[in-house]
Amino acid sequence: MSTRGKISGNTPNPFASRRGLNQFNNRLFTLLVWVVGICTVLFICGLLFLILQKGLPKLEWSFLSGLPSEIEEGGGIGPTLFNSIYVLVISLVISIPLGMAAGIYLAEFAPDNKFIAFVRICVEGLASVPSIIFGLFGIAIFVEAFQIGLTILGGAVSLAFLNLPVLTRVTEEAIRAVPIEMKNASFALGGTHLQTILRVLIPVSLNSIITGICLVAGRAFGESAVIILTAGVTTSGEMWDFSLFSPGETLAVHLWYVQSEAIVPDATEIAEKAAAVLVFVVLLINVIFRVPLWLNARKTRV
Amino acid sequence: MGTLIDIQSLNLYYGTFHALKDVSMDIPEKAITAFIGPSGCGKSTLLRTLNRMNDMIPGTRIEGQIAVGGTDIYSREVDVETLRKKVGMVFQQPNPFPKSIYDNVAYGPRLHGIRSKGKLDEIVETSLRSAALWGEVKDHLKRSALSLSGGQQQRLCIARALAVNPDILLMDEATSALDPISTLKIEELAQDLKDRYTIVMVTHNMHQAARVSNQTVFFLNGEVVEYSDTEKLFSNPRDQRTEDYISGRFG
Ligand SMILES: Nc1ncnc2c1ncn2[C@@H]1O[C@H](COP(=O)(O)OP(=O)(O)OP(=O)(O)O)[C@@H](O)[C@H]1O
Ligand SMILES: [Mg+2]
């Protein structure tokens, strides 16, 4: 009836159809992202739940701290859990300072030339080399060159090598991502390069660096190939053995060992419980490394 | 008014590009000197030579002399950090650190070794007062500087620059990212500060130069075309090119 309706009825609106199509695509895409996102999250949560639900209810203190047994039922994971944490801590103590230093060097000091570009490609390549290669490297150094056999030291240092390229890369990227304006502000106030790095660049990029550290720590905690080759599949059989030269079977390796090699009757149960502990500790590591970030954030808000 | 900054036959090259051509001028102390000119004529470049921020741009080469308070700032004995402490800078975009308001202002003094809480508190308060920001932030100094508005952030950056007690304040289009009210506040602030500091500001806003500065320098393609008292330059320019520029005929 109205002229308005007539006009739009007779002359096709040039914007309407395209808009409709775009709108449709937009909705479809949004839906797709949601569905895929929810599926992924459900899958991950389900996986976590399955692992934890199988193992956690059966956990007792005696399992966590007990010695493993070779033949009878009821062996614990005490020494292997201890080794896992001990090896992880040593490897991080070695790799975090070195990796961060290398990353800061590449981001802040390295000249812009072909050689450094080549170094960067190498670091990137090393970051994706299969871990077993680092295990072989560890054997070549510790077992063959130094002749110290399969030890915690060898395992920890090999793990540190494994993590070094990733940490270097992550640190470099994080430092580079800090806006140049912030660097300029610090320099303009009379800050030296070192002061600027310590007081601006690192704090600002800490979030990304810590995410990187969490990733490598989780990977190192669950790593088995490197440990089997450099630290062995046995422990010294004692609890709290801090000797760097003891054999250093870790929890992840023990898990593999009981499932594939061991002859204990309760192998499956041990594996389930060990898996739950493994996952739980990895989650814990992530929480622990975030604490400095929370403290940092608390300082600026209030 | 004595001369504080004395620039003599300054040439600056970015690689092979000749960005500043035989620039000479005397900048008086405790006054506001404005640099105007079309984009790319070298205003920021000249400003950055005064606190040696150009040192960080690879391939920069400088000839000629700049003396601040009688000392050649490009001589070997000069410590760049000490120079930058005396010659503060405020940038075009507000660039507070992602730290608290307090830590932003205290950043400079801490760099230079001041640790005492009482002394830092005092510096933070006087600097924020000088930057006309104290009233707005005094109750939440612990809040993140990023929660401030653009204009407040810029005044925070001014406070941060004042906190190291400079003699000279360089402002590179410090108001171009701000709304008219914030701009006005910062202009008033500059007026107040010129009793204690020597201010050199770059601006694209001719009215701003006319309103706040004592001296104005007009640049074109890396050369100084005209340098005189602001009033004279705007009312009665000597050079035809200056007149064309200020009357909006090019640039
Ligand atoms: N880092 C650099 N490397 C090479 N050339 C540069 C560099 N910085 C500036 N230039 C050149 O030097 C000239 C002067 O630049 P400058 O930034 O000083 O101009 P400006 O007058 O501040 O301009 P605007 O008003 O747009 O800020 C320009 O032609 C620019 O291209
Ligand atoms: Mg500029």
What does the DSSP assignment read for A220-241? HHH--HHHHHHT-S-B-SSSS-
- Residue in chain A closest to B93 (alpha carbons) equals A181
- Residue in chain A closest to B171 (alpha carbons) equals A188
Ligand 1 and B58: CB distance under 6 A: no
- A172 and A231, same domain (yes or no): yes
Q: What angle do the packed helices A114-127 and A152-176 form, to 10 degrees?
A: 130
Q: Is B57 on the interface with A (CB under 8 A)?
A: no
CA distance B44 to chain A (A): 14
Digit-by-digit pLDDT tens for chain A (302 residues) are: 444 545 555 666 666 656 677 888 889 999 999 999 999 999 999 999 999 998 888 888 888 888 888 777 778 888 999 999 999 999 999 999 999 999 999 999 999 899 999 999 999 999 999 999 999 999 999 999 999 989 999 999 999 999 999 999 999 999 999 999 999 999 999 999 999 999 999 999 998 999 999 999 999 999 999 999 999 888 888 888 888 898 989 999 998 988 888 788 888 888 889 999 999 999 999 899 888 788 877 765 54
Determine contact, residues B12/B62, Cβ cutoff 8 Å. yes
| Chain B residues whose beta carbon lies within 8 Å of the beta carbon of residue A186 | 97, 107, 111
- A45 and A111, same domain (yes or no): no
Answer whether residue B190 is part of any domain. Answer: yes
Q: What is the whole-number distance in angstroms between the Cα of residue B178 and the centre of ligand 2?
A: 16
Q: What is the whole-number distance in angstroms between the Cα of residue B72 and the centre of ligand 1?
A: 24
- A33 and A92, same domain (yes or no): no
Q: Is B157 on the interface with A (CB under 8 A)?
A: yes
Q: Is B142 on the interface with A (CB under 8 A)?
A: yes
| Chain A residues whose beta carbon lies within 8 Å of the beta carbon of residue B143 | 300-302
DSSP calls for A240-293:
S---TTS-B--HHHHHHHHHHT---TTHHHHHHHHHHHHHHHHHHHHHHHHHHH
Answer whether residue A1 is part of any domain. Answer: no
Mutate to test the interface with B, among A112, A180, A189, A202 (most CBs of B within 10 A): A189
Answer whether residue A210 is part of any domain. Answer: yes
Q: Is A206 on the interface with B (CB under 8 A)?
A: no
In terms of Cα–Cα distance, which of A254, A98, A223 is closest to A166?
Answer: A98
Ligand 1 and B91: CB distance under 6 A: no
Ligand 1 and B43: CB distance under 6 A: yes
Task: Note the pLDDT of residue A2.
Answer: 47
Task: Note the pLDDT of residue A64.
Answer: 87
Task: Note the pLDDT of residue B171.
Answer: 95
> Please, which residues 89-108 of chain B have a Cβ atom closer than 8 Å to chain A?
89, 91, 93, 95-100, 103, 107-108
Task: Note the pLDDT of residue A68.
Answer: 82
Name which of A188, A191, A300 is nearest B100 (Cβ-Cβ).
Answer: A300
Q: Do A300 and B111 touch (CB under 8 A)?
A: no
The total domain count for chain A is: 2
In terms of Cα–Cα distance, which of B192, B187, B162, B159 is closest to B173?
Answer: B187
Domain that holds residue B89: 3-96+153-246
Answer whether residue B139 is part of any domain. Answer: no
Which CATH number does the domain housing residue A92 bear? 1.10.3720.10
Answer whether residue B20 is part of any domain. Answer: yes
Task: Note the pLDDT of residue A1.
Answer: 46
Q: How confident is the model at residue B30 (pLDDT cuts 50, 70, 90)?
A: very high
Query: What is the identity of the amino acid at A125?
Result: G
- A43 and A63, same domain (yes or no): no
The total domain count for chain B is: 1
- A260 and A285, same domain (yes or no): yes
Tell me the C-alpha to C-alpha distance, in Å, between residue B109 and each of A258, B26, B89, B135. 60, 30, 15, 22
Which CATH number does the domain housing residue B240 bear? 3.40.50.300
- A143 and A182, same domain (yes or no): yes
Task: Note the pLDDT of residue A248.
Answer: 86
- A193 and A119, same domain (yes or no): yes
- A273 and A231, same domain (yes or no): yes
What average pLDDT does range B7-15 have in this prediction? 95
Answer whether residue B237 is part of any domain. Answer: yes
CA distance B241 to chain A (A): 34
Answer whether residue A4 is part of any domain. Answer: no
- A291 and A197, same domain (yes or no): yes
- A37 and A164, same domain (yes or no): no
Domain end, chosen from A41, A57, A73, is at: A57
Atom of ligand 1 nearest to the CA of B57: 1
Average pLDDT of chain B is 93
Domain that holds residue A50: 9-57
Ligand 1 and B41: CB distance under 6 A: yes
Instruction: Please state, as a whole number, how many other Cβ atoms lie within 10 Å of the Cβ of residue B42.
Output: 22
Q: What is the whole-number distance in angstroms between the Cα of residue A94 and the centre of ligand 1?
A: 45
Q: Measured between alpha carbons, how far is A278 from A55 in angstroms, rounded to an integer?
A: 10
- A82 and A149, same domain (yes or no): yes
Q: What is the whole-number distance in angstroms between the Cα of residue A202 and the centre of ligand 1?
A: 30
Task: Tell me the per-residue pLDDT of B82-101, one tens digit each, with 9 for 90 and over.
Answer: 999 999 999 999 999 999 99
Long-range contacts (CB closer than 8 Å, 24 or more residues apart) made by A43-49: A48/A279
- A138 and A121, same domain (yes or no): yes
What average pLDDT does range B8-21 have in this prediction? 95
Answer whether residue A52 is part of any domain. Answer: yes
Task: Note the pLDDT of residue A12.
Answer: 64
DSSP calls for B22-57:
EEEEEEESSSEEEEE-STTSSHHHHHHHHTTGGGGS
